[in-house]
Amino acid sequence: MTAYRELASRGISTRFAADLVGIPRATATRKPRNPMAGPAPIPANQIDDAERRQILAVVNPDSFVDLPPIQIYAQLLDAGTYLCSISTMYRVLNENQQVKDRRRQARHPARAIPELIATGPGQVYSWDV
């Protein structure tokens, strides 16, 4: 990268300099990352835990449990309530593993395969061979 920057600073075109160095021009002109920059700044409008709990409290009752977040959002707007954006609703549900089907579903126990045991001749007949 330093060779590319040297060539580019001497007035050689970026395309030709990238070809000489043997790297793609997009890679050469990309802004370098600063590993010492630290974590990304926290947005000013980030929702806190209380707001996340409020979203979950509104989205999880029986009236909304069968609906996807976009329909919940639309019904809340029709009622005059703006809770959060659709993407925020999806994000909060995803953090709580509720993005997939959220209804209560029947969980059937695994069935045991019947075992045929014969203690003598002519007790068990089977056509599976």
Contacts of 66 (CB under 8 A, 6+ apart): 102, 103
Contacts of 38 (CB under 8 A, 6+ apart): none
In total, the chain counts a number of residues equal to 129
Q: Is there a contact between 15 and 25 (Cβ–Cβ < 8 Å)?
A: yes
Q: What pLDDT score does 73 carry?
A: 95
Mean pLDDT by runs of 10 across the 129 residues of the chain is 84 87 84 75 89 94 88 94 93 88 76 86 75
Q: What is the DSSP string of 60-83?
A: SSTTTTTS-HHHHHHHHHHTT---
Q: What pLDDT score does 12 carry?
A: 86
